[in-house]
Amino acid sequence: MTDVALEPDQSAPGPAGTERGAALYRKVAADLREAITTGAFGEAGRLPAEGALAEQYGVSRGTVRQALAVLRSDGLVTSRRGTRRVVLGNARVQSFSELLSFTHWARSMGEEPGGILDSLVRRPADAAEREQLRLEPGAEVYAIVRLRTLSGAPVMVERTVYPPRVGELVAELPADVVSHTEQLREHGILFTDADHTIDVVAANAEDARLLGCRRGSPLLRERRRTTDPTGTPVEWSQDRYLPGTVAFSVHNSLATSALSRHARDSD
Amino acid sequence: MTDVALEPDQSAPGPAGTERGAALYRKVAADLREAITTGAFGEAGRLPAEGALAEQYGVSRGTVRQALAVLRSDGLVTSRRGTRRVVLGNARVQSFSELLSFTHWARSMGEEPGGILDSLVRRPADAAEREQLRLEPGAEVYAIVRLRTLSGAPVMVERTVYPPRVGELVAELPADVVSHTEQLREHGILFTDADHTIDVVAANAEDARLLGCRRGSPLLRERRRTTDPTGTPVEWSQDRYLPGTVAFSVHNSLATSALSRHARDSD
DNA sequence: GAGTGGTCTAGACCACTCA
DNA sequence: GAGTGGTCTAGACCACTCG
């Protein structure tokens, strides 16, 4: 943790210190996050009072609270009226894109991501797909099946359905492009929100063929619907992982509850 | 959505309108949540501007923003600089306690929760348990194994380890108490934060015996460490669900990312 | 260029914790 | 009762979107 006030952005408009031209509260949050991971708050892990931090960083208490809210939702610190905040755990690396993009995730682990295209078709959307992608009856979709690999080893079967606007872009990508997500981002398709559901299913014949497992053997399934900032669905995907290759992890609290438990729906 | 300003708490100190003596922003959030689920914002689902909402509810813009932040993190609305907020999806029921407590979850679905105690022992903590519960070498723990049922049908094996302070309370509970969590809350043990990891494992002999499945058959595993407001671990639990009985669900976004994907760790 | 959400400030009061 | 986080206000300026 710095003892001095945060410097304003460096002279040049480009990248600055720890965080690039970000908001003030993000710089404070980044600095506090580092202080936490380096154990700067001692054994007990009690943070300074908000007022003290405000003075230390030369910002208002509101800004400090914004920074602390970030750490709170990441599960790094507690908060309770009447007492100082306490360090909860060490930082876990996690970012939205890491969850959204197999490629990004693989690289963050130092593994080499791969994608083997199995099929790509344009066809009428079924009822479930129309529901998920909010399409009109009779609308078409692009459906893609890919085998995803880590350093050459099969890990996951990805079945993604795109609405026409997005699918047309994907269909034009060379077959050997590994990250569709990154390509779409460069074409101006923004992924900002996603709903995930995680459960277990038995491998069907296609899963078995692609993953090299037996039919009926268990797979960890993640279904995901992603939308852009306007709320328009841009992707509906169903990923099936071989057991032992992946685990999903989440933090929640009384204050911010994101995860929920459901009875399994029919499909 | 009401057109009038929110009423202050009713005269009596007891429960008031939609929300009990809660903060102003929570009342606004609850009202907006209802407006969203009843489709009050029309087909396009564009919310009024923050300023308009502030005037409508007779509160400051800051309070409106606090309310909207709640809906944002629940995945109900988008937010983007320059444009109105847009309704993302309908409300999903979810609460922290619903995820934490099997009993609470079951009841919210209208099912009858059950718990059949298999074993309860006090024993030295192993290395992993000391790590999770932040205990000293040589410390002891209370370890409980229970079969959880929904309307009589086996659903999940729960293996929970408590530190002594908490375990002593649990050990004194009658064997037929269904919800340990609720009992602990009444004894002043607070659960406020939890880290969850979800993956697939094969049933061991004990799992198979309790759940009535075959050894080696797949189970959906949720591991969870729960802490109190001071950051002290109060529970370390490993729940194994029969496939098809449960799914976990989470919303994340560029703004608030709670879920992450991991390579499976050894255990 | 008008409208909108994002950020930041300064100050106020309250509810709660803990010595 | 002092200290602390939770809530709320009023106002300001900025960055971005879109007609």
pLDDT digits (tens, 9 = 90+) for A148-198: 999 889 999 999 999 999 999 999 998 888 999 888 888 888 888 888 889
In the DSSP assignment, the letter for residue B42 is T
Q: How far is the CA of A169 from the C1' of C11 (A)?
A: 53
CA-CA-CA-CA torsion for B6, B12, B18, B22, nearest 10 degrees? 80
pLDDT digits (tens, 9 = 90+) for B33-70: 989 888 888 777 889 999 999 999 999 999 999 999 98
- Domain A1-91: which topology? Arc Repressor Mutant, subunit A (1.10.10)
| Residue B73 in contact with partner chain A when CB distance is under 8 A | yes
Give the pLDDT score at B210.
Answer: 97
Residue with tokens 């529901």: A131
Amino acid identity, position B54: A
Q: Which residues of B touch A226 (CB under 8 A)?
A: none
CA-CA-CA-CA torsion for B70, A229, B195, A151, nearest 10 degrees? 180
Ordered DSSP codes for A136-168 = -TT-EEEEEEEEEEETTEEEEEEEEEE-HHHHH
* Alpha-carbon distances of B167 from A206, B99, B170, B258, rounded to whole Å: 48, 21, 5, 29
What's the CATH number for B19-92? Answer: 1.10.10.10
Which nucleotide has the shortest C1'-to-CA distance from A65? Answer: D5
In whole angstroms, give the CA distance from residue B61 to residue B57: 10
Give the pLDDT score at A238.
Answer: 94
In the DSSP assignment, the letter for residue B215 is T
Is 80 exceeded by the pLDDT of residue A90?
Answer: no
Is 50 exceeded by the pLDDT of residue A10?
Answer: no
Which pairs from B18-27 meet CB under 8 Å and 24+ separation? B24/B59, B24/B63, B25/B59, B25/B63, B25/B64, B25/B66, B25/B67, B25/B70, B26/B67, B26/B70
**Residue A83 CB lies within 7 Å of the nucleic strand C:** yes
| Confidence category of residue A139, pLDDT binned at 50, 70, 90 | very high
Contact B70, B246 (CB under 8 A): no
Nearest to A194 among B83, B244, B252 (CB): B252
Is 60 exceeded by the pLDDT of residue A89?
Answer: yes
3-state secondary structure of B186: helix
**Residue B21 CB lies within 7 Å of the nucleic strand C:** no
Question: Percent of chain A having pLDDT more than 90?
Answer: 45
The verdict on a CB contact (< 8 Å) between B249 and A262 is yes
Which homologous superfamily does the CATH classification assign to the domain defined by A96-241? Answer: Chorismate lyase-like (3.40.1410.10)
Contact B72, B31 (CB under 8 A): no
* Residues 6+ away with beta carbon under 8 Å from A59: A6, A24, A25, A28
Q: Which of residues 84-103 of A touch strand D (CB under 7 A)?
A: 84-85
**Chain C bases closer than 7 A to any CB of the protein:** 3-12, 15-18
In whole angstroms, give the CA distance from residue B253 to residue B257: 6
Name the token pair of B38.
């009843």
In the DSSP assignment, the letter for residue B208 is H
pLDDT digits (tens, 9 = 90+) for B177-210: 899 988 888 888 888 888 888 999 999 999 999 9
Amino acid identity, position A39: G
The verdict on a CB contact (< 8 Å) between B256 and A256 is yes
Contact A180, A189 (CB under 8 A): no
Name the token pair of B33.
């949540």
Using DSSP bridges, classify how beta strands A153-162 and A140-150 pair: parallel, antiparallel or unpaired: antiparallel
3-state secondary structure of A198: strand
Mean pLDDT in residue range A91-115:
79
In whole angstroms, give the CA distance from residue B258 to residue A99: 10
The verdict on a CB contact (< 8 Å) between A247 and B256 is no
The full 3-state SS of B75-103, as one line of letters, equals CCECCECCECCEECCCCCCCCHHHHHCHH
Q: How many CB atoms lie within 10 A of CB A8?
A: 10
In the DSSP assignment, the letter for residue A86 is B
In whole angstroms, give the CA distance from residue B60 to residue B51: 8
CA-CA-CA-CA torsion for B207, B213, B219, B225, nearest 10 degrees? -30
Contact A55, A94 (CB under 8 A): no
In whole angstroms, give the CA distance from residue A252 to residue A254: 7
Residue A250, φ and ψ in degrees, nearest 5: -150, 150
Give the pLDDT score at B100.
Answer: 83
Which residue is nearest nucleotide C2, judged by alpha carbon to C1' distance? B82
Contact A40, A1 (CB under 8 A): yes
Residue B88, φ and ψ in degrees, nearest 5: -95, -50
**Residue A254 CB lies within 7 Å of the nucleic strand C:** no
3-state secondary structure of B55: helix
Give the pLDDT score at A186.
Answer: 84
Q: Give me the residue spans of the domains in chain B.
A: 19-92, 96-241
Strand extents, DSSP E, chain B: 113-124, 140-150, 153-162, 193-202, 218-227, 233-241, 247-253, 259-262
* Chain Cα centroid distance, residue A225: 12
Contact B130, B156 (CB under 8 A): no
Interface test with A, best of B261, B264, B265, B267 (most A CBs within 10 A): B261
In whole angstroms, give the CA distance from residue A194 to residue A23: 24
pLDDT digits (tens, 9 = 90+) for B91-109: 555 567 777 889 888 887 7
pLDDT digits (tens, 9 = 90+) for A22-72: 889 999 999 999 898 888 888 778 899 999 999 999 999 999 999 999 888
| Residue A39 in contact with partner chain B when CB distance is under 8 A | no
Question: Percent of chain B having pLDDT more than 90?
Answer: 46
* Alpha-carbon distances of B133 from A49, B141, B194, rounded to whole Å: 27, 9, 12
